[in-house]
Amino acid sequence: MCVCVCVCVCVINVIAYQVNQEQPPDDELKSPTQKEIERIMSENLHGGDIKNMRILSYRNKAPGAPDGFLNPLKVVYSHSKAPASVKRISRYIPQTPDRILDAPDIMDDYYLNLIDWSPNNILAVALGANMYLWNAGTGKIQQLLTLEGSDYVCSVSWIQEGSSLAVGTSMGVVQLWDCSSLRQIRAMGGHSARVSSLSWNSYILSSGSRSGQIIHHDVRQRDHCVAELSCHTQEVCGLKWSPDGRYLASGGNDNMLYIWSAVAGQAYSEPQPLHALSSHQAAVKALAWCPWQPNILASGGGTADRCIRFWNCNTGSCFNVIDTKSQVCALQWSTTYKEFISGHGYANNQLVIWKYPSMTKVTELTGHTARVLHLAMSPDGTTVLSAGADETLRLWKCFAPDPVKKKKETTDSKATISLFHGIR
């Protein structure tokens, strides 16, 4: 009996010893460095040595939120997250430019419009006082004109068909050039300040100036000035006729966007705007009409705004808006895909391709080391040219047709040809 008790006590002692061995007192077996690490970690985590602190909490806790309660911020958060995602795409878009051209002395001025690509595949580029023509097919460069004194080119625009080029100058003169013979056809005055934007609608050339004035010139007439629009209070930096010639959009440094409707049966617009749109918080330079829906306009705002807005010009309503987080300098729609491309300034100086109408990002093209000032589309719709303030012109082959689809089209056309042969 006695022995038995003794054994029991022994066993308990052994167990107790083993337990002690397995969990030795913290401080004895730890090296000084280990203790130091623990102390530093504790300081980082608790903002002080936890051993010198007591953590207390009140016993009667606060109640939880009622059942079924939904955080009201959910709407706010989910809304702001949408445009940031980059959607996976199936087609290949080269991330580097196809070609880089030098554009020395290109003016780093947000309000000017210095490049235009003609349907005849000739690119007009204004570099300071000089105007150059670059034949994109042959690579041939011609100098069209040099302005004298301190005069410089502020805007260029090709006529929709033909080889006429309109050039707006800092003296307020609009020159008309025939580029097949490299001759000036006429000069048209009327503006009191520099002509920073131009847009053609058939035989009407509309020009916007720093004074805020827009003039419609009928280039066929001796008295070329057919109408004047004076709604803008500051420089008109964006001016675009819609592809069907029904609407003119004008954006100014007064943060206003006006839509003007064409006079019935004429190519110039009414003197009063159809819509006055004041949603942009900064200058509206980037304007682009949708090629497949002629009443849809995309407009982009400057640094304080950073938004691209989409307007239905029949109703004057803004049906979509993207916050791009960067100054919008230029916009172009793709004619190949249901997409559009935007050119940006600070911080990444990137081009962004967006899907329409989902407004998801397709890809970003980076490479410019200063802001992207202008965008132009090649006549075949495959290539976008971006002019940057880093004095380079970059050609991006980002809208090349899908090779698979293209193949199908060519085989289709071959099939029809062979069909004709068969009939013969």
Partner 1 sequence: MASTEQETKGSVTLKGSSDLVKEYLDYGINSILYQRGIYPAETFVPAEHFGITMYMSTDEKIKSFLKSVLEQIRDWLCQKKMQKVSLIISNSATKEVLERWDFKVQYEGDGNATESGKTVGNKDFTLIQKEIRSVLRQISGTVSFLPLLDCLCTFDLQVYTVTDCEVPQEWDETQPCFIANAQEMPLRTFSTSLHRVETHVSYKAE
List residues near partner 1 by CB under 8 A: 45-48, 50-67, 69, 71-74, 76-78
Type of residue found at 4: C
Q: Are 15 and 7 in contact (CB under 8 A)?
A: no
> Whose Cβ is closer to partner 1: residue 48's or residue 316's?
48
Element containing residue 363 per DSSP (H, E): strand 361-365
Least distance (Å) between residue 85 CB and partner 1: 13
- Report in angstroms how near the CB of residue 59 gets to partner 1 at its nearest: 5
Do 288 and 331 form a contact (C-beta atoms < 8 A)?
Answer: yes
Longest dimension (CA), the chain: 134
Beta carbon nearer to partner 1, 69 or 420 = 69
Name the residue nearer to partner 1 (CB basis): 77 or 420.
Answer: 77
* Closest among 414, 397, 308, 383 to 83, alpha carbons compared: 308
Question: Nearer Cβ to partner 1, position 67 or 102?
Answer: 67
Helix (H, G, I), strand (E, B) or coil at 352: strand
Specify the residue, 44 or 138, whose C-beta has the smaller distance to partner 1: 44
Of 63 and 149, the one with the shorter C-beta distance to partner 1 is: 63
Partnered with residue 198 across adjacent β-strands are 207
Tell me whether residue 31 or residue 78 sits nearer to partner 1 (CB atom): 78
Gyration radius of the chain's alpha carbons: 33
Could you tell me the smallest distance in angstroms from the CB atom of residue 207 to partner 1? 43
Give the contacts of 213 (CB within 8 A, at least 6 positions apart). 191, 192, 228, 229, 230, 232, 236
Closest CB 41 distance from partner 1, rounded Å: 11
Q: Closer to partner 1 by CB, 140 or 325: give it.
A: 325
Q: How far is the CB of 55 from partner 1 (least distance, A)?
A: 5
Q: What tokens appear for 334 in the block?
A: 């793709």
Strands (E), 219-327: 225-229, 236-241, 247-252, 257-261, 275-277, 284-289, 296-301, 307-312, 317-323
Residue 30 DSSP symbol: S
Q: Residues 395, 385: contact at Cβ < 8 Å?
A: yes
d(CA 261, CA 322): 26
Smaller CB separation from partner 1, 52 or 85: 52
**How near is the Cβ of 81 to partner 1 at its closest, in Å?**
9
Q: How far is the CB of 306 from partner 1 (least distance, A)?
A: 16
* 313, 262 contact by CB (below 8 A): no
Q: What is the DSSP string of 102-137?
A: E-TT----TT-B-EEE-TTSEEEEEETTEEEEEETT
SS3 173: coil
Among all chains, which residue has been given the structure tokens 């903002």?
47
> Which of 198, 219, 216 minimizes the C-alpha distance to 154?
198
Q: Which is nearer to partner 1, 61 or 421 (CB)?
A: 61
Note whether 203 and 185 are within 8 A (CB): no
Residue 50 dihedral angles phi and psi, to the nearest 5°: -65, -25
Residue number with CB closer to partner 1 (42 or 202): 42
> Which class for 336: exposed (0-12), middle (13-18), buried (19 or more C-beta within 10 A)?
middle
Please state the closest distance from residue 49 (CB atom) to partner 1, in A: 10
